[in-house]
Amino acid sequence: MNSGDKLFGRLLKRAPTAATDLPDHLGSPPLGLHLHLDADGGVLQVAGPLRNLLAQQPPHDQPLPLHRYVQPHSTLAIEGRPVEWQGQSLDLDFPGLGDQTLHLRGWVQPLGNGWRMQLIDIADLLLERQQSRSREACQTLAGQISEQLRACSLARLPVIVDEQLQAIAQRWHIPCLALAVLDEQAQGWKIHRQHHAHDAPALWHDGQYLGTALDSLNGTAPQHVGIHHGLDEHSRVQATFGNSEGFVVPYADDRGVVAWLLCGFYPINDGAPYLSDRDWLLLVSALAGPLLGRLREQQHHQQLERLESLQTLLGTGWWEIVGNDVHLAPSLAAALQLDAASLTREQWLARFHRADRDELHSRLQALQQQGEALTLCVRLHSPDDWKHPLWYRLQGQVTGTGEHRRLVGFMLDISDIKNQQQIAATAHARLDNLIASSPAVIYVQHYVEGALQPAFFSASLQPLLGWSLDDCTTTALVERVHPDDRDLYFERTRQLLREGSVRARYRLRDSRGDYHWLLDEAKLLRDDLGLPVEAVGLWLDVTEATLAAEQVRQSEERYRILVEDSPAMICRYRPDLTLTFGNRPLAMYLECAPEQLPGINLGEWMSDEQRETFVQRLSSLTPEQPVSTAEINLQLPGREHAWWVWSDRGVFDELGQLIEVQAVGRDNTEVRRTQQQLTQSAKMATLGEMATGLAHEINQPLNVMRMAIVNVLKRLSSGDVQIDYLTDKLNRIDTQVQRAARVVDHMRVFGRRSEVEQQPFNPATAIEGTLSLLAEGMRGKGVELRVSETGFEVQVRGYVDQLEQVLINLMVNARDALLSKRDAGREFKPWISVYAERDECSVRLWVEDNGGGIDPRLLERIFEPFFTTKPVGVGTGLGLSVSYGIVENMGGHLSVSNSVEGARFCIELPIVLDV
């Protein structure tokens, strides 16, 4: 028995004697018990060395029957009388002292009248039989366990382990059973699986780490634990079981103890008295051996899988040169889009970029011949993109010697890194280039005891200011700052140190003595402790920008003055007519201070109709045609009417939405008034001109009336007065009075000034009014009037009296032309034709005569003011020009052409649709 077994023995908690003395004991002669029986089996006498061990001692008075001495189950063997037992071997169990049982085997022989029974101790014999039976069972079970564990799939392994634990536990009635294995990573013992009976508490759980208990039972050298430290391992193991009883069985392989079987609540001697230590060891090795093998296999498998996926993820893989062939990891072959994972060395080399091929070839040879380790960055032709090669780091080494010598290595895809390096290098180069060629200077100033000392300037310093770093010591730099800006510069440094960053603008002198405006932006860099280390900054030459800004400021100032002092009204307003700005003249008209203008609504000064027209006009503004000019009419505070010539320019957002209007206005009221006066005087002139016609117009009814009155008076004086006659005459007089009254009425209306606001009216009423004034006079002069009924109802916008004035002008002009033509030839039949026609949107009134027309050379000039062909004192030359203005003002147009017989004037007016 070696020291390991001893250790196990102690761990198995066996009394050393029980196990070690067994073989010796079997060899010694049995010491017996001798019973003297009577013929009925009564015990007369008890002798022999075992006599004192019997629980039942013979009484003194009378013999007890034998079955009183043996245990109840043994009474079967001694039924009847001793004579019947003769020739048989009797196995009898006797109750011994202290709950022990004496296993004895005996025979009966006749002795005198009675019988002599000789019994020998067969306990050891029984024990051995039990043990061998147990061992057999144990070996069978162990065989099953190990076979099951070896044969099952990895997935079912935990279930199988559980089943085996359960089988062991049930076979030997172990309440709590667990397998602890060495966790090499955690360097501790871990419960792999555990089993406990339904009525037993769980001492452990799966995956539990056995913190302290088995720590010192370091599996690497079990036999040393006890010896060197002299510690009682058993007591430590005991802690694993708490207060309950239990024992542990180790499993050792070539690495030492790597697993333990833990049995809890289990006094081994009682539980499995016939299982030897070897049996336990066999059992645990049947369980732990294959299990650990399988677990290792699983681990290996997982590791391989991990390695494989890692290789795939990293775009890496191993390669190995065998003879003239190169084998590649499947992942690598896939990444390189190779059909096979094995190719010849030449084929492999051909995959590499021509630039790297020779070097790789020679380095591979060096590896093969001298065993020189290989590290190389190589390019591979990308299967997808011929222009952009893949970059790989290729490493190789020699492992093993002799026939185990291998050339292996790996390839790692470093395209990303290489590409980034290249991008970074390009970006760097670009940045350098940019800095060098930009009007900016990058500088670094070191922080030294509270001051900042120039330490670096980018190369752009030379072209920009004509200095080098050496020219720029701290003091030299300050001297170059413009004297007016030095305070600014010192404050810049203070602020930089105080706040960590600064932005300043000051002038710096260049090597030629010219000053540059520099925009200085700097940041202070601090160390881990927050102490300043250096300032990094940028000088931007903003001389041009600064000067330009100054110019803009000046020009803005000029424009501001222009706007403010302009005699014109200038303003900005929103599409809802709210002013956002207005200059002094506008404020003056609106009788407030310029500051009060924003917020005022321009519409306040307009009538509803005017406002509507105004807003409508604004809505016609587009980004393409943003300008519109119109004469607007307002009711200003304290003034009757104001006429402004108003130009609007729309400002649009990117969606073409009107956001603001800029407007310039001029007060046109005076011009308007003059115009009105002019119209009025022209009207008066027309009236004057018509005076002759009018006299006739009124004279005519007067004559008729006088005739009627004379006739009536004549009748009255002759007394021949009939009521009918009188009534007839008086009615005639009344008709004439009405006629005269109409003429006078109309004269009055015509003489009035026009209304301020244009009104919609039917142009036919103007024709009627004109004819009521002129018809009689025309006829009196022998001019035929040809008037066609309009036959339609339309509305135009303007002033009816003004349109009448136009028609009167045209007809009077025609009359003049006709009369002067008739002066030449008496048989001439003059006529004037007045008619109207319309289309969708306009109405045209025609006034045509047969007076011979207008000299074509004068056609263009007749609308000019004061143009006349009539003698001085007769013509004013205003009639047509005023008429032209009136028609334009109504939104229409007055034109003239020559027809076959005379002149033909056309008044074209827009029809108002929605009245």
Q: Which amino acid is at 356?
A: D
Residue closer to ligand ADP, measured from CB, 269 or 897: 897
Residue closer to ligand ADP, measured from CB, 417 or 684: 684
Residue closer to ligand ADP, measured from CB, 388 or 870: 870
Name the minimum Å distance from CB 842 to ligand ADP. Answer: 23
Site string for ligand ADP, 341-380 (x = CB under 6 A): ----------------------------------------
Complete DSSP assignment for 876-907: -S-HHHHHHHHHHHTT-EEEEEE-SSSEEEEE
Name the minimum Å distance from CB 756 to ligand ADP. Answer: 26
- Of 25, 560, 706, 870, the one binding ligand ADP (CB under 6 A) is 870
Q: Which of 191, 367, 358, 220 is nearest to 288 (CA)?
A: 191
Q: Which residue has the tokens 């890496």?
A: 316
- Residue 879 in contact with ligand ADP, rule: CB under 6 A: yes
Residue closer to ligand ADP, measured from CB, 573 or 905: 905
DSSP at 911: P
Name the minimum Å distance from CB 880 to ligand ADP. Answer: 3
Residue closer to ligand ADP, measured from CB, 626 or 875: 875
Complete DSSP assignment for 695-728: HHHHHHHHHHHHHHHHHHHHHHHHT---HHHHHH
521 - beta bridge partners? 503, 538
Q: Which residues contact 20 (CB under 8 A, 6 or more apart)?
A: 1
Q: How close are the terminal C-alpha atoms of the chain, in Å?
A: 132
The pairing of beta strand 831-838 with beta strand 784-787: parallel
- Of 312, 495, 628, 869, the one binding ligand ADP (CB under 6 A) is 869
Reported in sequence order, the residue ranges of 265-404 that DSSP labels E, i.e. its strands, are 316-322, 325-328, 342-344, 374-380, 390-399
Where do the H-state alpha helices sit in 230-276?
Answer: 233-240, 268-271
CA distances (Å), origin 382, targets 327, 337, 355, 466, 599:
20, 9, 14, 50, 71
- Residue 880 in contact with ligand ADP, rule: CB under 6 A: yes
Cβ neighbours around 865 below 10 Å, total: 16
Name the minimum Å distance from CB 597 to ligand ADP. Answer: 45
Residue closer to ligand ADP, measured from CB, 686 or 790: 686
- Residue 537 burial by Cβ neighbours in a 10 Å radius (0-12, 13-18, 19+): buried
> With the CA atoms of 496, 497, 498 and 502 taken in that order, what torsion angle do they form, in degrees rounded to the nearest 10?
10
Name the minimum Å distance from CB 699 to ligand ADP. Answer: 25
Reported in sequence order, the residue ranges of 788-912 that DSSP labels E, i.e. its strands, are 796-798, 831-838, 842-849, 893-898, 903-910
How many whole angstroms separate alpha carbon 131 and alpha carbon 640? 138
DSSP at 469: G
- Of 862, 887, 894, 906, the one binding ligand ADP (CB under 6 A) is 862
Task: State the residue number with the nearest CB to ligand ADP.
Answer: 879
How many whole angstroms separate alpha carbon 608 and alpha carbon 685? 36
Name the minimum Å distance from CB 814 to ligand ADP. Answer: 4
Name the minimum Å distance from CB 876 to ligand ADP. Answer: 4
Residue closer to ligand ADP, measured from CB, 33 or 834: 834
Binding positions for ligand ADP, 883-912, rule CB under 6 A = 903
- Residue 786 in contact with ligand ADP, rule: CB under 6 A: no
- Residue 758 in contact with ligand ADP, rule: CB under 6 A: no
Residue closer to ligand ADP, measured from CB, 633 or 876: 876
What's 28-68 look like in SS3? CCCCEEEEEECCCCEEEEEECHHHHHECCCCCCCCCEEHHH
Residue closer to ligand ADP, measured from CB, 368 or 680: 680
Query: How many chain residues interact with ligand ADP (CB under 6 A)?
Result: 19
User: How many degrees, rounded to 5, is the angle at CA 413 between CA 408 and CA 414?
Assistant: 120
Residue closer to ligand ADP, measured from CB, 600 or 783: 783
Angle between helices 800-824 and 763-780 in degrees, nearest 10:
30
How many whole angstroms separate alpha carbon 696 and alpha carbon 714? 26
DSSP at 389: P
Site string for ligand ADP, 818-857 (x = CB under 6 A): -------------------------------x-x--x---
515 - beta bridge partners? 509
Name the minimum Å distance from CB 869 to ligand ADP. Answer: 3
Q: Which amino acid is at 700?
A: Q
Binding positions for ligand ADP, 591-610, rule CB under 6 A = none
- Residue 263 in contact with ligand ADP, rule: CB under 6 A: no
Specify the 3-state DSSP secondary structure of 112. Answer: coil
Residue closer to ligand ADP, measured from CB, 414 or 817: 817
Q: Which residue has the tokens 């052409």?
A: 897
Residue closer to ligand ADP, measured from CB, 484 or 901: 901
Site string for ligand ADP, 794-823 (x = CB under 6 A): ---------------x---xx--x------
How many whole angstroms separate alpha carbon 582 and alpha carbon 579? 7
| Dihedral sign (CA 269, 271, 273, 277) | negative
How many whole angstroms separate alpha carbon 466 and alpha carbon 460? 9
- Residue 867 in contact with ligand ADP, rule: CB under 6 A: yes
Q: Which of 294, 350, 71 is nearest to 179 (CA)?
A: 294
Name the minimum Å distance from CB 578 to ligand ADP. Answer: 46
Q: Which residues contact 487 (CB under 8 A, 6 or more apart)?
A: none
Choose the binding region for ligand ADP from 48-56, 73-81, 540-548, 863-871 (rule: CB under 6 A).
863-871
Name the minimum Å distance from CB 810 to ligand ADP. Answer: 7
Name the minimum Å distance from CB 834 to ligand ADP. Answer: 13
Choose the binding region for ligand ADP from 376-384, 578-586, 777-785, 870-878 (rule: CB under 6 A).
870-878
Name the minimum Å distance from CB 820 to ligand ADP. Answer: 9
Residue closer to ligand ADP, measured from CB, 763 or 879: 879
Name the minimum Å distance from CB 757 to ligand ADP. Answer: 28
Residue closer to ligand ADP, measured from CB, 483 or 856: 856
The pairing of beta strand 532-541 with beta strand 440-448: antiparallel
Choose the binding region for ligand ADP from 43-51, 87-95, 621-629, 877-885 (rule: CB under 6 A).
877-885
Choose the binding region for ligand ADP from 243-251, 278-286, 287-295, 872-880 (rule: CB under 6 A).
872-880
Name the minimum Å distance from CB 848 to ligand ADP. Answer: 9
Residue closer to ligand ADP, measured from CB, 633 or 833: 833
Name the minimum Å distance from CB 856 to ligand ADP. Answer: 12
Name the minimum Å distance from CB 746 to ligand ADP. Answer: 21
Q: Which amino acid is at 454?
A: P
Specify the 3-state DSSP secondary structure of 434. Answer: helix
Residue closer to ligand ADP, measured from CB, 486 or 844: 844
Q: Which of 773, 767, 775, 774 is nearest to 796 (CA)?
A: 767
Residue closer to ligand ADP, measured from CB, 607 or 898: 898
Name the minimum Å distance from CB 892 to ligand ADP. Answer: 18
Choose the binding region for ligand ADP from 211-219, 343-351, 582-590, 879-887 (rule: CB under 6 A).
879-887
Q: Which residue has the tokens 């002798």?
A: 47
Residue closer to ligand ADP, measured from CB, 246 or 830: 830
- Residue 877 in contact with ligand ADP, rule: CB under 6 A: yes
* Site of interaction with ligand ADP (CB under 6 A): 809, 813-814, 817, 849, 851, 854, 862, 867-870, 875-877, 879-881, 903
